[in-house]
């Protein structure tokens, strides 16, 4: 496992007063972590990073801040001490604006498959993970140790965050009844319209349902790709920023079990709750393959929406403006060269 950032729980941080002689603020508290030689993170620093005393490594506190210059110190007994700098930035929760804007509603998978999927999902960026059931989910899956032992699930989340270098832990909600969740909780978590008391930062959520499309014998499938999704909400006149602008849009992505959602019942159930159906195409994919592809496309789609909205109010130039002029210029150059070659 590659740790691109060493992550720690807030409870692992020790506070100490900084030395006033170092010129960096008298009486300011510093954060220090002490790890035993058997700790996996200490072993990673020693064997993979091969960091020596005085070297610097990247660290972070879960649901807190980051520091790219934590100083390594090895004790004679083999313990690792990390001087992580001022404690306040590390222990201050990050802004919610930094939380990934893609959430996933995932049908429960086989336990070993879940162990492989979750770190990849978190590494790609998930703001909230909702785990639910489906017609084709085996009941035995719900006896998984990941659900019985919260620490096992958290370790997979931390693995993904360490890979991405992030510290924001996604919210995790588990509800075994899909229909009840859609009817009772979906609108609470993702309101389709702002309530009267909503602030200007209300976030619309695009609800997306992923399901395979079998071109030759599929009577209920939809051959729609991410780039073809429609935006069912009004585009704010002032773009994404400003006092009267709505917040940046979010995207909720529903991913079914290995064999897909139940046809046509579950597909119709999602559509009744405002989900637009998309597909990755006619190829049969494992969930481990489909999930990273869908998440990457979801993030890219939100980025494209951001640019579209900014372009609509003139904050950034339309790519057609520059590329069109460049294309016309290149065509003119080609015509000139062609004319000269014929002379």
Cα 140 from Cα 201, distance rounded (Å): 42
Question: Mean per-residue pLDDT for 116-143?
Answer: 96
Tally of helices (H runs) and strands (E runs) in the chain: 10, 12
Which tokens hold the place of 294? Answer: 């869908």
pLDDT over 50 at 171, yes or no: yes
Mean pLDDT estimate for the chain: 84
Kindly indicate the confidence band of residue 21, based on its pLDDT and cuts at 50, 70 and 90: low
| pLDDT exceeds 50 at position 119 | yes
Between CA 136 and CA 182 the distance in angstroms is: 17
Percentage of the residues of the chain whose pLDDT score is greater than 70: 79
Mean pLDDT of 62-90: 96
Across the beta sheet with 128-132, the strand order is 171-175, 128-132, 102-107, 250-255, 205-210, 276-278
Model pLDDT, residue 317: 58
- Between 81 and 304, name the one with better pLDDT: 81
User: At 172, is the pLDDT very low, low, confident or very high (cuts 50, 70, 90)?
Assistant: very high
Cα–Cα nearest to 97, from 241, 194, 207, 291: 241
Confidence of residue 224 (pLDDT cuts 50, 70, 90): confident
Tens of pLDDT along 286-304? 999 999 999 999 999 998 8
pTM of the shown model: 0.83
pLDDT of residue 229: 84
Residue 155 has pLDDT above 60, yes or no: yes
Say what the pLDDT of residue 241 is. Answer: 47
Q: d(Cα 337, Cα 343) in Å, to the nearest integer?
A: 10
Query: Is 237's pLDDT higher than 60?
Result: no
Tokens 């773009």 appear where?
239
Looking at per-residue pLDDT, the higher value among 136 and 234 belongs to 136
Name the pLDDT band for 320 (thresholds 50, 70, 90): low
Say how many C-beta atoms besides its own lie within 10 A of residue 205's C-beta. 18
What's the pLDDT at 273? Answer: 96
Mean pLDDT of 303-322: 67
Q: How confident is the model at residue 199 (pLDDT cuts 50, 70, 90)?
A: low
Which of the four pLDDT bands, split at 50, 70 and 90, describes residue 59?
A: very high
Between 340 and 74, where is the model more confident? 74
Tokens, residue 218: 């599929």
pLDDT at site 338: 43
């Amino acid at each position: 496992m590659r740790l691109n950032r060493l992550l720690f729980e807030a409870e692992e941080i020790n506070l100490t007063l900084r030395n006033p002689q170092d010129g960096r603020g008298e009486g300011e508290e510093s954060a220090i972590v002490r790890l035993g030689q058997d700790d996996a993170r200490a072993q990673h620093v020693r064997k993979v990073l091969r960091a020596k005393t005085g070297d610097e490594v990247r660290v972070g506190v879960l649901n807190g801040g980051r520091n790219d210059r934590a100083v390594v110190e090895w004790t004679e007994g083999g313990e690792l001490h990390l001087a992580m700098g001022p404690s306040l930035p590390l222990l201050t929760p990050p802004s919610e604006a930094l939380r990934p804007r893609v959430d996933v509603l995932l049908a429960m998978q086989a336990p070993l498959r879940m162990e492989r999927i979750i770190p990849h999902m978190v590494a790609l960026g998930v703001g909230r993970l909702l785990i639910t059931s489906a017609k084709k989910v085996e009941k035995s899956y719900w006896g998984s140790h990941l659900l019985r032992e919260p620490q096992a699930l958290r370790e997979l989340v931390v693995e993904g965050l360490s890979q991405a270098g992030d510290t924001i832990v996604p919210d995790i909600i588990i509800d075994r009844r899909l229909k009840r969740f859609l009817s009772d909780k979906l609108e609470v978590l993702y309101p389709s319209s702002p309530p009267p008391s909503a602030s200007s930062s209300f976030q619309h959520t695009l609800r997306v349902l992923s399901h395979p499309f079998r071109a030759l014998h599929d009577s209920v499938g939809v051959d729609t790709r991410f780039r073809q999704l429609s935006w069912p909400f009004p585009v704010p006149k002032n773009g994404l920023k400003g006092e009267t602008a709505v917040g940046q849009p979010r995207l909720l992505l529903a991913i079914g079990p290995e064999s897909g959602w139940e046809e046509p019942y579950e597909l119709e159930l999602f559509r009744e709750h405002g989900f637009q159906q998309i597909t990755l195409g006619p190829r049969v994919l494992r969930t481990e393959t489909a999930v990273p592809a869908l998440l990457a496309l979801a993030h890219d789609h939100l980025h494209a929406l951001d640019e579209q909205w900014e372009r609509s109010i003139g904050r950034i130039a339309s790519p057609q403006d520059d590329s069109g002029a460049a294309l016309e210029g290149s065509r003119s150059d080609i015509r000139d060269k062609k004319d000269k070659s014929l002379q």
